[in-house]
Amino acid sequence: MPTESQRPTAPSGEIDTDYDIGQDNIQASIGSLEVDIHNPVFPISALSVIILVLFCLIFDETAADAFGALRPWLTTQFDWVFAISMNIFVLFCLFLIFSPLGKVKIGGKSAMPEYSYPAWFSMLFAAGMGIGLVFYGVLEPLNHTLTPPLGAPGVLDSDGNLADAATAEAAVRLGMAGTIFHWGLHPWAVYSVVALALALFSYNKGLPLSIRSAFYPILGDRVWGWPGHLIDSLAALATLAGLATSLGYGSSQAAAGLNHVFGIEATIELQVIIIICVTGLALISVVRGLDGGVKLLSEVNMGMALLLFLFVLIFGATSDIFSTLFGGTAAYIINLPALSNWIGREDTGYFHGWTTFYWAWWIAWSPFVGMFIARVSLGRSVREFIICVLLAPTLACVMWMAVFGGTAIAQLVNDGYTGVQQTIANWTPELSLFAMLELLPLSTLTSLLGIVLVLVFFVTSSDSGSLVVDTICAGGKIDAPMPQRVFWCSFEGLVAIALLLGGGLGSLQALAIATGFPFAIVTVAMCYCIYQGLRSEPV
**pLDDT tens string 126-183:** 555 667 788 888 989 999 999 999 988 988 877 778 888 889 899 999 999 999 999 9
* Helix, strand, coil percent values for the chain (each to nearest 5): 80, 0, 20
Domain membership of residue 526 (yes or no) is: no
Residue 203 has pLDDT above 80, yes or no: yes
Which residues have C-beta within 8 Å of that of residue 108, sequence separation ≥ 6? 21, 22, 203, 204
Q: Is residue 189 part of a domain?
A: yes
420-431, pLDDT tens digit by residue? 788 877 777 788
What confidence score (pLDDT) does residue 97 get?
94
Kindly tell me if the per-residue pLDDT of 528 is higher than 90. Answer: yes
Interatomic CA distance for residues 339 and 182, integer angstroms: 10
CB 74 within 8 A of CB 517: yes
191 pLDDT tier (thresholds 50, 70, 90): very high
**pLDDT confidence bin for 23, thresholds 50/70/90:** very low
Q: Determine, yes or no, domain membership for 11.
A: no
pLDDT, tens digit, 9 for 90 and up, residues 95-132 = 999 999 999 998 888 888 877 777 777 666 655 566 77
Query: What pLDDT score was predicted for residue 2?
Result: 34
pLDDT higher at 29 or 189: 189
pLDDT level of residue 19 (50, 70, 90 thresholds): very low
Residue 84 lies in a domain: no
CA atoms within 13 A on the CB side of 126: 34
Is residue 523 over pLDDT 90?
yes
For the whole model, what pTM was predicted? 0.85
Q: What's the pLDDT tens digit per position in 497-512?
A: 877 776 666 676 777 7
pLDDT for 505 equals 65
d(CA 180, CA 184): 5
Cβ atoms 261, 448 nearer than 8 A = yes
Q: Residue 373: give its domain's CATH number.
A: 1.20.1740
Question: In this model, does residue 20 exceed pLDDT 50?
Answer: no
**Helix intervals (H) in 32-104:** 41-58, 60-77, 79-98
pLDDT value for 17: 39
- What is the domain range of residue 249? 16-77+106-519
Percent of the chain at pLDDT > 70 equals 86
pLDDT at 22: 33
Sign of dihedral through CA atoms 103, 104, 107, 110? Answer: positive
Residue-wise pLDDT for 255-307, tens only, equals 888 888 888 888 888 888 888 888 887 777 777 655 555 566 666 777 888 89
d(CA 525, CA 208): 19
Could you give the dihedral angle defined by the CA atoms of residues 370, 35, 2 and 473, in that order, rounded to the nearest 10 degrees?
A: 40
pLDDT for 149: 94
For residue 330, pLDDT over 90 is answered with: yes
Residue 373, pLDDT score = 85
Instruction: Report the candidate in 129, 140, 131 with the shortest Cα–Cα distance to residue 177.
Output: 140
Per cent of the chain over pLDDT 90 is 27
Is the pLDDT assigned to residue 310 strictly greater than 90? yes
Q: Flag whether 184 is in a domain.
A: yes
User: Cβ neighbours of residue 3 under 8 Å, at least 6 residues apart?
Assistant: none
Average pLDDT, the chain: 81
Contact 408, 327 (CB under 8 A): no
Question: Residue 81: pLDDT band by 50, 70, 90 thresholds?
Answer: very high
Residue 156 forms beta bridges with which residues? 162
Beta carbons within 10 angstroms of residue 348's beta carbon: 12
pLDDT at 28 over 60: no
CA end-to-end span of the chain: 36
Residue 186 pLDDT greater than 90, yes or no:
yes
Q: What is the mean pLDDT of residues 185-214?
A: 92
**301 membership: H or E segment, kind and range:** helix 296-315
Query: In whole angstroms, what is the distance from residue 419 CA to residue 412 CA?
Result: 8
pLDDT in tens, 341-381: 999 888 888 999 899 989 988 898 888 888 878 877 888 89
Residue 92 lies in a domain: no
Provide the number of structural domains found in the chain.
1
Q: pLDDT value at position 261?
A: 83
